[in-house]
Amino acid sequence: MKLFELADLRPRESLRFPLGRFEGFAVRDASGGIRAYLNVCPHRAQPVDIGDGRLWLTSGEIECQAHGARFDPATGACTGGPCLGRGLTRLGIEERDGAVWLLEPLQYR
Ligand code: FES
């Protein structure tokens, strides 16, 4: 399943995409690698990325806009705030033919 075109994701920005009955979002980590996550916060299941451009903190973390849970963009691990050690759900992806593709069906929990 094709998620988005590579050229549409710039450093220090994010990109949301449809994912069945859910939504995903993608970022580039500090090394330029693309990471994709389910756009559902482990705190209260609200969207982490609401698309207003405020996802990134100056520390290099990403922050849920609902209540301030912070995550490592490279791993999705909780780095502070109300996520209390629970990280983001990472999606298996690959870059191919100028686009990003979902590697495996999403395992709903
Ligand atoms: S839902 Fe993300 S911090 Fe509360």
CA atoms of 98 and 75, how far apart (whole Å): 23
Q: Is 34 in the pocket of ligand 1 (CB under 6 A)?
A: no
pTM for this model (two decimals): 0.93
pLDDT in tens, 6-26: 999 988 899 999 998 899 999
Q: In sequence order, which residues have a C-beta less than 8 Å from that of residue 78 and are 6 or more positions away? A: 42, 69, 70, 71, 84, 85, 86, 87
pLDDT in tens, 50-70: 998 889 999 999 999 999 999
Ligand 1 closest atom vs CA 45:
1
Full set of structural domains in the chain with CATH: 2-102 (2.102.10.10)
Ligand 1 closest atom vs CA 82:
3
Ligand 1 closest atom vs CA 67:
3
**Ligand 1 centre distance from Cα of residue 42 (Å):** 7
